[in-house]
Amino acid sequence: MDAMKQTDSIVVIDDVSKFYGSKKALDQVSFTLEKGRIYGFVGENGAGKTTLIRLLAGLGEPTTGTISLFGQPLSEKTADLRKKIGFMVERPIFHDDLTARENLKLQIFLGGVSDYSNINHLLDLVGLKDIEDRPVKDFSLGMKQRVGIAMALVNNPELLILDEPVNGLDPVGMVEVRNILKNLNQQEGITIFLSSHILSELFQLATDYIIIHHGQLIKTMTLEELIHINAKGIWVEVDEIERLREQILIVSPTAEIIFDGTNAVKITKSNLTTRQVAKIGLESNILITGLTEVGESLEDYYLKLLGGSYE
Protein backbone atom coordinates (compact mmCIF):
# COMPACT_ATOMS: atom_id res chain seq x y z
CA MET A 1 0.00 0.00 0.00
CA ASP A 2 2.83 2.44 0.88
CA ALA A 3 4.53 1.73 -2.45
CA MET A 4 1.31 2.47 -4.33
CA LYS A 5 0.86 5.67 -2.32
CA GLN A 6 4.35 6.81 -3.24
CA THR A 7 3.72 6.06 -6.91
CA ASP A 8 0.48 8.03 -6.94
CA SER A 9 1.90 11.05 -5.07
CA ILE A 10 3.11 13.52 -7.68
CA VAL A 11 3.58 16.53 -5.38
CA VAL A 12 4.45 16.51 -1.68
CA ILE A 13 4.50 19.82 0.20
CA ASP A 14 6.16 19.16 3.55
CA ASP A 15 6.11 21.78 6.32
CA VAL A 16 6.72 24.64 3.88
CA SER A 17 7.01 28.21 5.16
CA LYS A 18 7.84 31.30 3.13
CA PHE A 19 8.95 34.67 4.49
CA TYR A 20 9.23 37.98 2.67
CA GLY A 21 11.27 39.97 5.15
CA SER A 22 9.32 39.76 8.38
CA LYS A 23 6.06 38.83 6.65
CA LYS A 24 5.15 35.15 6.72
CA ALA A 25 3.26 34.32 3.52
CA LEU A 26 3.14 30.55 4.18
CA ASP A 27 3.20 28.95 7.62
CA GLN A 28 4.20 25.26 7.84
CA VAL A 29 1.95 24.11 4.99
CA SER A 30 1.82 20.38 4.22
CA PHE A 31 -0.30 18.46 1.71
CA THR A 32 0.00 15.87 -1.05
CA LEU A 33 -1.34 15.81 -4.60
CA GLU A 34 -2.30 12.40 -5.96
CA LYS A 35 -2.29 11.44 -9.62
CA GLY A 36 -5.55 11.78 -11.54
CA ARG A 37 -7.36 14.16 -9.18
CA ILE A 38 -8.60 17.74 -9.60
CA TYR A 39 -7.58 19.87 -6.63
CA GLY A 40 -9.24 23.12 -5.65
CA PHE A 41 -6.81 25.34 -3.73
CA VAL A 42 -9.12 27.75 -1.93
CA GLY A 43 -8.36 30.89 0.03
CA GLU A 44 -9.19 34.56 0.16
CA ASN A 45 -7.01 37.04 -1.73
CA GLY A 46 -3.67 37.26 0.09
CA ALA A 47 -4.06 33.85 1.77
CA GLY A 48 -0.85 32.49 0.21
CA LYS A 49 -2.21 30.65 -2.84
CA THR A 50 -0.13 32.44 -5.46
CA THR A 51 2.96 32.29 -3.22
CA LEU A 52 2.78 28.50 -3.10
CA ILE A 53 2.10 28.21 -6.82
CA ARG A 54 5.13 30.41 -7.53
CA LEU A 55 7.26 28.06 -5.41
CA LEU A 56 6.04 25.10 -7.44
CA ALA A 57 6.85 27.01 -10.63
CA GLY A 58 10.41 27.68 -9.49
CA LEU A 59 9.83 31.42 -9.07
CA GLY A 60 11.08 31.26 -5.49
CA GLU A 61 12.26 28.83 -2.84
CA PRO A 62 10.73 27.87 0.51
CA THR A 63 12.26 29.56 3.53
CA THR A 64 11.83 26.27 5.37
CA GLY A 65 10.38 22.89 4.46
CA THR A 66 10.65 20.82 1.29
CA ILE A 67 8.80 20.31 -1.98
CA SER A 68 8.99 17.00 -3.84
CA LEU A 69 7.84 16.44 -7.41
CA PHE A 70 7.24 12.95 -8.80
CA GLY A 71 9.04 11.39 -5.84
CA GLN A 72 12.15 13.60 -5.93
CA PRO A 73 12.96 16.59 -3.69
CA LEU A 74 13.41 19.74 -5.72
CA SER A 75 16.91 21.06 -6.20
CA GLU A 76 18.95 22.64 -8.97
CA LYS A 77 19.72 19.15 -10.27
CA THR A 78 16.05 18.14 -10.43
CA ALA A 79 14.63 21.38 -11.84
CA ASP A 80 13.88 19.54 -15.10
CA LEU A 81 11.04 17.82 -13.21
CA ARG A 82 9.08 21.03 -13.71
CA LYS A 83 8.98 20.22 -17.42
CA LYS A 84 6.33 17.65 -16.48
CA ILE A 85 4.16 20.49 -15.13
CA GLY A 86 2.19 23.12 -17.03
CA PHE A 87 1.72 26.49 -15.34
CA MET A 88 -0.52 29.51 -15.73
CA VAL A 89 0.42 31.83 -12.87
CA GLU A 90 -1.78 34.86 -12.18
CA ARG A 91 -2.67 35.61 -15.82
CA PRO A 92 -1.75 34.20 -19.24
CA ILE A 93 1.09 36.03 -20.98
CA PHE A 94 0.89 36.25 -24.75
CA HIS A 95 1.30 38.67 -27.64
CA ASP A 96 -2.02 40.34 -28.41
CA ASP A 97 -1.16 40.98 -32.07
CA LEU A 98 -0.41 37.31 -32.71
CA THR A 99 -3.01 34.63 -33.34
CA ALA A 100 -3.70 31.74 -30.98
CA ARG A 101 -1.72 29.45 -33.26
CA GLU A 102 1.22 31.85 -33.42
CA ASN A 103 1.26 32.27 -29.64
CA LEU A 104 1.39 28.50 -29.20
CA LYS A 105 4.14 28.22 -31.77
CA LEU A 106 6.17 30.89 -29.96
CA GLN A 107 5.61 29.17 -26.62
CA ILE A 108 6.88 25.88 -28.04
CA PHE A 109 9.91 27.63 -29.55
CA LEU A 110 10.78 29.36 -26.26
CA GLY A 111 10.62 25.96 -24.57
CA GLY A 112 13.44 24.77 -26.80
CA VAL A 113 11.27 22.46 -28.90
CA SER A 114 10.90 22.58 -32.67
CA ASP A 115 8.03 20.11 -33.00
CA TYR A 116 4.79 21.97 -33.76
CA SER A 117 2.74 18.92 -34.69
CA ASN A 118 0.68 19.05 -31.48
CA ILE A 119 -0.69 22.57 -32.02
CA ASN A 120 -3.89 21.44 -33.77
CA HIS A 121 -4.62 19.02 -30.93
CA LEU A 122 -4.07 21.73 -28.31
CA LEU A 123 -6.33 24.18 -30.10
CA ASP A 124 -9.00 21.51 -30.33
CA LEU A 125 -8.68 20.66 -26.62
CA VAL A 126 -9.41 24.24 -25.60
CA GLY A 127 -12.10 24.86 -28.22
CA LEU A 128 -10.19 27.35 -30.40
CA LYS A 129 -9.82 25.28 -33.55
CA ASP A 130 -12.21 27.42 -35.61
CA ILE A 131 -10.81 30.82 -34.55
CA GLU A 132 -7.13 30.00 -34.29
CA ASP A 133 -6.10 32.61 -36.89
CA ARG A 134 -7.75 35.62 -35.26
CA PRO A 135 -5.50 38.02 -33.29
CA VAL A 136 -5.72 37.35 -29.58
CA LYS A 137 -6.50 41.04 -28.97
CA ASP A 138 -9.93 40.37 -30.51
CA PHE A 139 -10.66 37.52 -28.09
CA SER A 140 -13.01 37.69 -25.11
CA LEU A 141 -11.54 37.20 -21.64
CA GLY A 142 -12.74 33.58 -21.61
CA MET A 143 -11.11 32.89 -24.98
CA LYS A 144 -7.86 34.44 -23.75
CA GLN A 145 -7.96 32.15 -20.71
CA ARG A 146 -8.29 29.20 -23.08
CA VAL A 147 -5.23 30.37 -24.99
CA GLY A 148 -3.38 30.51 -21.69
CA ILE A 149 -4.44 26.96 -20.83
CA ALA A 150 -3.31 25.74 -24.26
CA MET A 151 0.08 27.44 -23.73
CA ALA A 152 0.42 25.65 -20.39
CA LEU A 153 -0.14 22.34 -22.21
CA VAL A 154 2.58 22.64 -24.88
CA ASN A 155 4.99 20.37 -22.99
CA ASN A 156 2.36 17.60 -22.54
CA PRO A 157 2.36 17.96 -18.74
CA GLU A 158 1.27 15.34 -16.25
CA LEU A 159 0.23 18.10 -13.84
CA LEU A 160 -1.50 21.36 -14.76
CA ILE A 161 -1.34 24.24 -12.25
CA LEU A 162 -3.63 27.22 -12.82
CA ASP A 163 -3.90 30.35 -10.69
CA GLU A 164 -7.48 31.73 -10.59
CA PRO A 165 -8.37 30.48 -14.11
CA VAL A 166 -12.02 31.55 -13.91
CA ASN A 167 -11.49 34.88 -12.15
CA GLY A 168 -13.47 37.60 -13.89
CA LEU A 169 -15.20 35.30 -16.35
CA ASP A 170 -18.92 35.51 -17.03
CA PRO A 171 -21.04 32.40 -16.30
CA VAL A 172 -20.70 31.12 -19.87
CA GLY A 173 -16.92 31.52 -19.80
CA MET A 174 -16.74 29.74 -16.45
CA VAL A 175 -18.70 26.77 -17.79
CA GLU A 176 -16.49 26.60 -20.90
CA VAL A 177 -13.26 26.59 -18.87
CA ARG A 178 -14.74 24.08 -16.41
CA ASN A 179 -15.66 21.68 -19.23
CA ILE A 180 -12.19 22.01 -20.78
CA LEU A 181 -10.52 21.17 -17.47
CA LYS A 182 -12.83 18.19 -16.86
CA ASN A 183 -11.94 16.85 -20.30
CA LEU A 184 -8.21 17.33 -19.70
CA ASN A 185 -8.52 15.34 -16.49
CA GLN A 186 -10.89 12.59 -17.63
CA GLN A 187 -9.80 12.13 -21.25
CA GLU A 188 -6.16 13.22 -21.20
CA GLY A 189 -5.35 11.92 -17.70
CA ILE A 190 -3.88 15.22 -16.49
CA THR A 191 -3.86 15.97 -12.75
CA ILE A 192 -5.09 19.52 -12.13
CA PHE A 193 -4.36 21.95 -9.29
CA LEU A 194 -6.22 25.24 -9.50
CA SER A 195 -6.72 28.09 -7.11
CA SER A 196 -9.76 30.24 -6.38
CA HIS A 197 -10.97 32.54 -3.63
CA ILE A 198 -14.55 31.28 -4.06
CA LEU A 199 -15.35 27.74 -2.93
CA SER A 200 -18.55 27.46 -4.97
CA GLU A 201 -16.62 28.16 -8.21
CA LEU A 202 -14.81 24.85 -7.76
CA PHE A 203 -17.69 22.76 -6.42
CA GLN A 204 -18.73 21.42 -9.83
CA LEU A 205 -15.15 20.69 -10.88
CA ALA A 206 -12.76 19.68 -8.10
CA THR A 207 -12.52 16.21 -6.61
CA ASP A 208 -10.50 17.46 -3.63
CA TYR A 209 -10.21 20.72 -1.69
CA ILE A 210 -7.28 22.35 0.10
CA ILE A 211 -8.26 25.43 2.09
CA ILE A 212 -5.68 28.00 3.19
CA HIS A 213 -6.13 31.07 5.38
CA HIS A 214 -3.51 33.65 6.35
CA GLY A 215 -0.80 31.33 5.05
CA GLN A 216 -1.94 28.35 7.11
CA LEU A 217 -3.60 25.16 5.91
CA ILE A 218 -6.92 24.90 7.72
CA LYS A 219 -8.74 22.05 5.97
CA THR A 220 -8.34 19.34 3.34
CA MET A 221 -11.28 17.26 2.13
CA THR A 222 -12.65 15.30 -0.80
CA LEU A 223 -15.76 16.33 -2.71
CA GLU A 224 -17.66 13.54 -0.98
CA GLU A 225 -16.57 14.84 2.43
CA LEU A 226 -17.55 18.41 1.51
CA ILE A 227 -21.02 17.27 0.44
CA HIS A 228 -21.31 15.19 3.60
CA ILE A 229 -20.15 17.97 5.93
CA ASN A 230 -22.25 20.62 4.26
CA ALA A 231 -25.47 18.64 4.24
CA LYS A 232 -28.32 20.46 5.93
CA GLY A 233 -28.52 19.65 9.60
CA ILE A 234 -28.22 20.96 13.14
CA TRP A 235 -24.93 21.99 14.71
CA VAL A 236 -24.72 21.38 18.45
CA GLU A 237 -21.99 22.52 20.81
CA VAL A 238 -22.03 20.25 23.83
CA ASP A 239 -19.59 18.81 26.39
CA GLU A 240 -21.26 15.41 26.79
CA ILE A 241 -21.16 14.41 23.14
CA GLU A 242 -21.62 10.66 23.63
CA ARG A 243 -24.61 11.06 25.95
CA LEU A 244 -26.28 13.44 23.49
CA ARG A 245 -25.62 11.02 20.62
CA GLU A 246 -27.29 8.18 22.52
CA GLN A 247 -30.36 10.28 23.32
CA ILE A 248 -30.67 11.59 19.75
CA LEU A 249 -30.59 8.05 18.33
CA ILE A 250 -33.34 6.95 20.72
CA VAL A 251 -35.64 9.66 19.36
CA SER A 252 -34.41 9.53 15.74
CA PRO A 253 -32.73 6.17 14.91
CA THR A 254 -31.92 7.26 11.33
CA ALA A 255 -29.98 10.34 12.45
CA GLU A 256 -26.31 10.63 11.53
CA ILE A 257 -24.00 12.28 14.04
CA ILE A 258 -20.91 13.93 12.56
CA PHE A 259 -18.12 14.82 15.00
CA ASP A 260 -15.96 17.86 14.23
CA GLY A 261 -13.06 16.77 16.45
CA THR A 262 -13.76 19.26 19.24
CA ASN A 263 -16.84 19.74 21.40
CA ALA A 264 -19.43 19.94 18.64
CA VAL A 265 -21.46 17.60 16.46
CA LYS A 266 -23.65 17.96 13.42
CA ILE A 267 -26.94 16.06 13.25
CA THR A 268 -28.10 15.12 9.73
CA LYS A 269 -30.56 12.67 8.16
CA SER A 270 -33.23 13.33 10.77
CA ASN A 271 -36.43 15.36 10.97
CA LEU A 272 -35.44 16.89 14.30
CA THR A 273 -35.76 20.64 14.80
CA THR A 274 -33.45 22.78 16.92
CA ARG A 275 -36.26 23.08 19.46
CA GLN A 276 -36.54 19.26 19.72
CA VAL A 277 -32.77 18.88 20.14
CA ALA A 278 -32.80 21.51 22.89
CA LYS A 279 -35.65 19.64 24.58
CA ILE A 280 -33.70 16.35 24.41
CA GLY A 281 -30.75 18.05 26.06
CA LEU A 282 -32.92 19.63 28.76
CA GLU A 283 -34.78 16.41 29.60
CA SER A 284 -31.52 14.43 29.70
CA ASN A 285 -29.77 17.06 31.83
CA ILE A 286 -27.16 17.64 29.08
CA LEU A 287 -25.81 21.18 28.84
CA ILE A 288 -25.99 22.50 25.25
CA THR A 289 -23.98 25.69 24.75
CA GLY A 290 -24.56 26.22 21.03
CA LEU A 291 -27.37 25.22 18.69
CA THR A 292 -28.07 26.31 15.13
CA GLU A 293 -29.17 25.07 11.72
CA VAL A 294 -26.28 24.73 9.24
CA GLY A 295 -25.59 23.77 5.65
CA GLU A 296 -27.42 26.62 3.96
CA SER A 297 -24.68 27.27 1.38
CA LEU A 298 -21.09 26.47 0.50
CA GLU A 299 -20.08 30.06 1.14
CA ASP A 300 -21.59 29.99 4.64
CA TYR A 301 -19.54 26.89 5.39
CA TYR A 302 -16.40 28.47 3.93
CA LEU A 303 -16.83 31.64 5.97
CA LYS A 304 -17.31 29.58 9.12
CA LEU A 305 -14.06 27.78 8.35
CA LEU A 306 -12.22 31.06 8.01
CA GLY A 307 -13.80 32.33 11.18
CA GLY A 308 -12.81 29.26 13.17
CA SER A 309 -16.41 28.15 13.71
CA TYR A 310 -17.96 24.81 12.87
CA GLU A 311 -15.93 22.67 10.46
Phi, psi (5° rounding) for residue 36? 90, 0
Separation between Cα atoms, residue 289 and residue 140, nearest integer Å? 52
Query: Is there a contact between 210 and 217 (Cβ–Cβ < 8 Å)?
Result: yes
Span 181-239, pLDDT tens digits: 999 999 999 999 999 998 888 988 999 999 999 999 999 999 988 887 777 889 899 98
pLDDT tier for residue 266 given thresholds of 50, 70 and 90? confident
Answer yes or no: is pLDDT of 44 > 80: yes
Kindly report the number of other CB atoms within 10 A of residue 257's CB atom.
Answer: 19
Query: Is there a contact between 153 and 122 (Cβ–Cβ < 8 Å)?
Result: yes
Most confident of 117-121, 170-174, 189-193, 194-198: 189-193
Answer yes or no: is pLDDT of 80 > 80: no
Amino acid (one-letter) located at 239? D
Query: Is there a contact between 194 and 161 (Cβ–Cβ < 8 Å)?
Result: yes
Sheet containing 208-213: which strands, arranged edge to edge?
85-88, 159-162, 191-196, 38-42, 208-213, 216-222
pLDDT of the residue at 19? 96
pTM higher than 0.75: yes
Mean pLDDT of 38-59: 93
Beta strands, E only, 43-190: 64-69, 72-73, 85-88, 159-162
pLDDT of the residue at 311? 43
Kindly report the number of other CB atoms within 10 A of residue 67's CB atom.
Answer: 17
Query: Is there a contact between 2 and 53 (Cβ–Cβ < 8 Å)?
Result: no
Distance of CA 308 to the CA centre of its chain: 20
Separation between Cα atoms, residue 166 and residue 195, nearest integer Å? 9
Kindly report the number of other CB atoms within 10 A of residue 120's CB atom.
Answer: 13
pLDDT of the residue at 111? 79
Query: Is there a contact between 43 and 195 (Cβ–Cβ < 8 Å)?
Result: yes
Separation between Cα atoms, residue 221 and residue 188, nearest integer Å? 24
Closest CA to 90 of 164, 198, 150: 164
Helix 241-251 / helix 274-283 crossing angle, nearest 10 deg: 120
Span 246-255, pLDDT tens digits: 999 999 999 9
pLDDT: which is higher, 113 or 117: 117
